[in-house]
Chains A and B, each alone.
Chain A
């Protein structure tokens, strides 16, 4: 069977969930070969093998963290040349999309970004995308070269399928152009202990209605009672009430959880773009005319400062 190259997203060898989804989707097209850059390849290989990687190509070099994006493209290109895959899959983070794009130019291939599903087809992999603020679903293919496709988080349920997953070192040569953009300093984002926004099964978001940074604990309380991630509208982020990394929407994160709870959010098209594909949508808003109510499975017209704390208490007491 043809091989499919999968770019691994990990934190020091801890493989992130979207990569397991990619491995699962890759198996519909061929045998996944994983590319692991940076430290922790041996550790990661256990997980990658468990989810179907027949082989793990590994490379570690200071260039990967000292310079922006391009050294990783060099490595992906080296892996591409070593494997001659039927397709290349990359997680759809902002960096992942940049890496994939540059690879596509180098190998003379078409590019599809932000796929939400992937199937094998007679003329190569068929990618589903959600476009125009999730108003349409499209199916597309790459028609030139080896398909390079980036895939969004939550596009498939990861399925274990044990395979060999042995680690092989990959030689990567860096050129002068690889070191063009220097990373002068890096401050990792602090962990909140809550689930990752794009990976969470439940997301509770607050908007302008939360009315102040000091009130966001109300949203966090509900999120914690449900084991959820916390999101925010751009209005809340712009006001400085919550970090940009938690913004849901067109210029923030796209989420597609089992349950999305919008509190004090009107439901502007740019916000909908980031949450419309959630399985179940719940809203709490004091304006019965708010457009968010057009999307809901269940809505409560009311003041969030009454409803949210009472709901949190109710949930906590039900959990016992």
Chain B
């Protein structure tokens, strides 16, 4: 038997770039270079480790829903060590929101076949952190999410969730949907060998027809939410900056008192 792991990865605009909205108020994916979301590298890393520690053969598939360029994200994950990739790409997907994306991912995951779905904690552009829960609901399998530590043994997922109010130790049977946080352990860098090998690994392309999804269920038109306005945050008016020459603390205290914080 083999352990089939599907890792959901997103191609996002670089957060250190000057991110903008396009005219239709979707995320502008032209003005800033894209990359594999750093937070999804953690999911790829944990999937690889689960595979390495598994007694069964593990087959790791990386899956993305995104534009043509999103192949870069898949290549990066393949060069880290994933076995194959699935790219859901269709012009009608432009502008799809979280509910729509989760429907598409769920269909693609079912088509691929899975024992374990792995996600990052949140995408660095949308930052919703809801996709894993949405996938769990749609697939009808347990969610074991926001884990800082994860392991799979004897058909069970175990993990530690460092929540707002408590740290919880969780357990669920496979199949399941897992998400991991940036506390789960640094992701490996692709080796030269890994990069070369990735070029030969299969990347399957699927469109909406392949997944039996109607175009009007997704995209901007099919979206369940609508952005009406996006306003750049007004630049902060330049503040006062002083250099400490022994009086810095006093000057700052004066300022804080003037603002009634003291």
Contacts and interface: CB of A to CB of B under 8 A. Distances in A.
The dominant DSSP class at the A interface is mixed
B241 A299 contact: yes
A280 B253 contact: no
B200 interface: no
* Residue from A180, A299, A301 whose CB has the most chain B CB atoms within 10 Å: A180
A102 B166 CA distance: 22
A294 B67 CA distance: 35
The dominant DSSP class at the B interface is mixed
Contacts of A97: 128-130, 133
B157 to A, nearest CB: 9
Nearest to B259: A280
Interface in A206-257: 226, 234, 244-245, 250-251
Contacts of B16: 269
A247 B18 CA distance: 24
A186 B168 CA distance: 4
B233 A134 contact: yes
A184 B183 CA distance: 20
A131 B19 CA distance: 10
B252 interface: yes
A95 B170 contact: no
Interface residues of A, number: 90
Contact of B168 (A68, A144, A307): A68
Contact of B130 (A111, A182, A259): A111
Given A136-B232, A186-B167, A202 B261 contact: yes
B99 interface: yes
Contact of B243 (A114, A182, A280, A288): A288
A135 B163 CA distance: 27
B225 A95 contact: no
B172 interface: yes
Contact of A251 (B182, B225, B259): B182
Nearest to B223: A143
Contacts of A69: 133, 143, 145
Interface in A172-216: 177, 180-189, 202
Given A98-B130, A187-B167, A297-B239, A307 B252 contact: yes
5 contacts: A97-B130, A135-B233, A137-B231, A138-B227, A296-B241
Given A68-B144, A68-B145, A300-B251, 8 more contacts: A138-B229, A140-B226, A143-B224, A226-B261, A276-B233, A297-B236, A298-B252, A299-B242
Interface of A: 11, 68-70, 73, 93-95, 97-102, 104-106, 109-114, 126, 130-145, 177, 180-189, 202, 226, 234, 244-245, 250-251, 258-259, 269-270, 273, 276, 280-282, 284, 288, 293-303, 306-308, 310-311, 313-315, 318-319
Q: Which 6 A-B pairs have the closest CB atoms?
A: A302-B244, A110-B224, A180-B142, A310-B249, A101-B130, A98-B133
